Chain A
């Protein structure tokens, strides 16, 4: 068989975040609003909304659908990315796959598909995540290798996220319960203010919720927030992970149900199809830390991502950091010398207030950063970062297209 005279040369392409949506987040458990709603259906609502909001995108142009879930069985199983694509009515020619990196599942779905776009394998991808922690409680079906204990590979507390947060308080005695509670109160207040301004609602896709006893309902707002929470309210809460500990339900994210999805594209493809650019990818990195203090993961991940981009923390004008636990956010801020209440950090509140359905949260950080970029055109770069179970962190650095110096022909040489 005669070969082609010359193969196409590879070209590195810029990747843009076109749009992102999420379901309202619910409280996990039998009384939560999604108790009788399927996890895969939550993802489907997001994918359909993305397609509806971006009518200039021909659905058959989607090159892949990457959906993350931590527990990949039942309504989160069956290669959920592929199944969700079919259930969403995307053409059967559109493939899909499932991803797991625990809390950073959706973030990894974004980086994996973005990387594929970057090397020219894809032009358009849908990335997202779902976790129905009511249907799939943390640790469902796990079978840790006995070597972990026998060889003391990992401290046994590493498998219980709340205990890793307590370990972090031990490591950094300056991060007190009082500071953690204060941070949590700020998160609640900022979210309430963002809701009041209608900022949060724009990213939400309403979900019809099934209940055999009560009939159909419609989820249009997050269920977990407790607006008006005060430091005094939090002071007396139990510390379930340790007697006289510091980690409470008030200064950590709850157990939640929810899904997210976003649309990524090669920049030139987005322009050709008339798709908007909400953010441009600059760099990303993942890093490992000791599993028993997984909460410090964002620190090395961010250092790595900044180094790759040739940027430093002083270049970063907005930070969306996942609030699995207040102490883990404080550890990050302390490392970079940022104040606990710095307005650049989680300006619309975070997971402590609105919830953290594990594998879905990465894209939620991105949609909020995109919103903040639009409101703050003077900010050029922002990051989304999160800690990850078994001792990891992940960080993605994004550029604001609303910034005066943003240009489509941008190359990273300029910023060096």
Chain B
């Protein structure tokens, strides 16, 4: 297989060029000649350098030039202003259909990067800005590294996406900093929502040898490198413990993290564990060959394809919501009202204050509740100040923007009023009716309802067209999703305003047609309902519960405990009323709530254990149907596929992508399943339940050969 075929897979590669210049670095009266290679794709910092086949070829050629410079005593690599490199170009990965081509991805990187550690002269990497994945790995091939003390992000996100650091990272990093630290970067951080390192950590972990500030980073890095070349500066590193037990302890911890985060449903972290294990004993060539094989397997795996699809949704679709009206239609929001001063309302008020920075007024029925709500927000502001996440001046500004009242006439000047009162249609309609008498004609009325009909809520108003649903997820400050609900008569301007507010709040907005429980709660509800039905019919809880492993961040019965059984019961009743045919109310759940239980598990040493008292309350059917784990999983996936099919047919959302984006950002569904619909397609559930796939082959899965 030639290089040309490989390059043809990446027609959209943004070429990262590698410029070479000879620089003479003065150290006192001496001077060190170095070849300085600048990686630069010609775009600004919003489009970081990446390595595709052409970029690797360019770097290869640059290294030829660098080593050929007369009198060259060292080679150094750095990036364009404000950025080093964000790793491999992933644009072509989705269209790779053969394992042989997939294996070339690893080999091409290894071949070129390896020239840096095989060089006859010392090699240096100056991480002058964002360094991710292959961008970090290229530096690991160098003999020495410096890092920008203000570096915005540094990390190996491969396992987060469904890959392994396969351009040397899995072999080089543990051999540089030891297994414990390598695991922290490659596994812990990647699986912890892709956590990044700052310069202090990069230095403390021993990944970089020196840090320099941005004002003269390159000058100081060159000077430091020249001193190293002249032997005037000795670089000391912590020795790597080669003891097998140390490595196994680190790998056991990594495996346990992978189990917790992915329930063995994602292959990447486990492959990384194997590669790190081998790195203790095998030589570099063998280690790199194993990385090539791992990359080839993962690239030819469904999980990576789903992961890349999901990553694209989160990166792009989240920023340009499909089906949103033109932004120009949005009305300016310079003052906001929040009806209610309970916990949800207080969280909303804080978020609105921090992001919109406009006056926010809260109301409730009596002064005590208003005071309590304001007190909560003030308390949260104080906490942010203590944690140094908010300056005292900004805190004063936010406190000054917040006010409360028992009189709803304070909403007269508001551009947006969000209600977060008790989930009861009559109460909400009364609130809206009263507001309409006070507010300006252009004011958008939003409801944070999670289950009630927004259309019904607006029905009796003079201006129902300005009512929109804005369903936030708990905890409001953390969960990225905002379901923007378009009711039957909602006009484009009000909808556009809701989207504009969502963008300023930095939320991922997904538009949803007014329908019971919208997207996330409807699908979670169906999932819980189906699991409860299977348990009520006789399958033991541990079997039914573990059948969902890897589908969501937690299993259904663990989630039940988190939500609380009474709330779960209430939700299931609401859904049952909306969809009596498909959503059951569990008789056992009723019994548990009646007995005053709030969860089915008790937690011992961080592990769930079935509460025997709960078990005794469970009623076994006369004719129990006991299913095995695989059968339960099939039934659950089929049920979810049926529900997704109905939601698409009813026009609840415009496309399966919106369901996946919502499940990822609202319920933490994992990238390796692409959210949900790629998993349903992959397992055949879609075809069993609806007769066809949700997404065409190749969109979030391996393309047809």
Contacts and interface: CB of A to CB of B under 8 A. Distances in A.
A364 B29 CA distance: 21
Contacts of B318: none
A206 interface: yes
B40 interface: yes
A238 interface: no
Contacts of B40: 212, 215
A154 to B, nearest CB: 42
Given A218-B25, A220-B24, A45 B219 contact: yes
Given A44-B216, A207-B219, A208-B218, A216 B26 contact: no
A198 to B, nearest CB: 6
25 contacts: A44-B215, A44-B216, A48-B216, A87-B215, A89-B215, A198-B29, A206-B25, A206-B26, A206-B219, A206-B223, A207-B219, A208-B216, A208-B218, A208-B222, A215-B20, A215-B37, A216-B19, A216-B38, A217-B21, A217-B36, A218-B25, A218-B219, A218-B222, A220-B23, A220-B25
A8 interface: no
B81 interface: yes
A217 to B, nearest CB: 5
Given A215-B38, A218-B36, A210 B219 contact: no
Interface in A279-313: none
A214 interface: yes
Interface string B23-50: 1111001010000111010100000000
Contact of A201 (B25, B26, B38, B218): B26
Interface of B: 18-21, 23-26, 29, 31, 36-38, 40, 42, 78, 81, 213, 215-216, 218-219, 222-223
Nearest to B78: A216
A214 B215 contact: no
Nearest to B26: A220
Given A206-B26, A214-B21, A88 B37 contact: no
Interface core residue of A89, A216, A217 (most chain B CB under 10 Å): A216
A216 B216 contact: no
A205 B25 CA distance: 11
A205 B218 CA distance: 13
Contacts of A216: 19, 21, 36, 38, 78, 218
Contacts of B42: 212
Interface string A60-91: 00000000000000000000000000011100
B261 to A, nearest CB: 40
A218 B215 contact: no
B23 to A, nearest CB: 4
Nearest to A47: B215
Nearest to B22: A217
A89 B18 CA distance: 31
Contacts of A208: 216, 218-219, 222
Contacts of A205: 219
Contacts of B21: 214-217
Contacts of A204: 26
A19 to B, nearest CB: 17
Given A215-B21, A218-B25, A48 B38 contact: no
B214 to A, nearest CB: 9
Interface of A: 44-45, 48, 87-89, 198, 201, 204-208, 210-218, 220
Interface core residue of A206, A207, A217 (most chain B CB under 10 Å): A206
Contacts of A211: 19
Given A206-B222, A210-B81, A212-B40, A218 B24 contact: yes
A215 B36 contact: yes
Interface of B is mostly: strand
Contacts of A212: 40, 42
Contacts of B25: 206, 218, 220
A48 B37 CA distance: 25
Interface core residue of A44, A87, A201, A212 (most chain B CB under 10 Å): A212
A217 B42 CA distance: 17
A44 B219 CA distance: 12
Contact of A88 (B18, B24, B38, B215): B215
Contacts of B38: 215-216
Contact of B213 (A45, A89, A213): A89
A362 B223 CA distance: 28
Contacts of A89: 213, 215
Contacts of A215: 18-21, 36-38, 40
A211 B42 CA distance: 11
Contacts of A207: 219
- The 5 lowest CB-CB distance pairs between A and B, nearest first, are A215-B19, A215-B38, A208-B218, A218-B23, A216-B38
A16 B223 CA distance: 30
A217 B23 CA distance: 6
Nearest to B29: A198
Nearest to B23: A218
Contacts of B78: 216
A89 to B, nearest CB: 6
A205 B26 CA distance: 10
A213 B19 CA distance: 8
A9 to B, nearest CB: 40
Given A89-B215, A207-B219, 9 more contacts: A87-B215, A89-B213, A204-B26, A205-B219, A210-B81, A216-B78, A216-B218, A218-B24, A220-B26
A32 to B, nearest CB: 16
A48 B21 CA distance: 25
Contacts of A88: 215
Contacts of A214: 19, 21
Nearest to B21: A217
A204 B29 CA distance: 12
A207 B38 CA distance: 16
A217 B26 CA distance: 13
A216 B81 CA distance: 9
Nearest to B223: A206
Contacts of A206: 25-26, 219, 222-223
A347 to B, nearest CB: 20
Nearest to B25: A218
Contacts of B19: 211, 213-216
Contacts of B223: 206
A200 to B, nearest CB: 12
A42 to B, nearest CB: 11
A261 to B, nearest CB: 13
B216 A45 contact: yes
B216 to A, nearest CB: 6
A65 to B, nearest CB: 14
A201 B30 CA distance: 11
Contacts of B81: 210
A45 B223 CA distance: 14
A211 B80 CA distance: 9
A115 B23 CA distance: 41
Nearest to B36: A216
Nearest to B42: A212
A48 B36 contact: no
Contacts of B31: 220
Interface core residue of B31, B37, B213, B216 (most chain A CB under 10 Å): B216
A254 B31 CA distance: 28
Nearest to B17: A215
A378 to B, nearest CB: 26
Nearest to B79: A216
B219 to A, nearest CB: 5
A212 B19 CA distance: 9
Contacts of B37: 215
Contacts of A217: 21, 23, 36
Interface core residue of A198, A213, A218 (most chain B CB under 10 Å): A218
Contacts of A87: 215
Contacts of A48: 215-216
Nearest to A206: B219
B254 to A, nearest CB: 38
A220 B23 CA distance: 9
A208 B37 CA distance: 13
B45 to A, nearest CB: 14
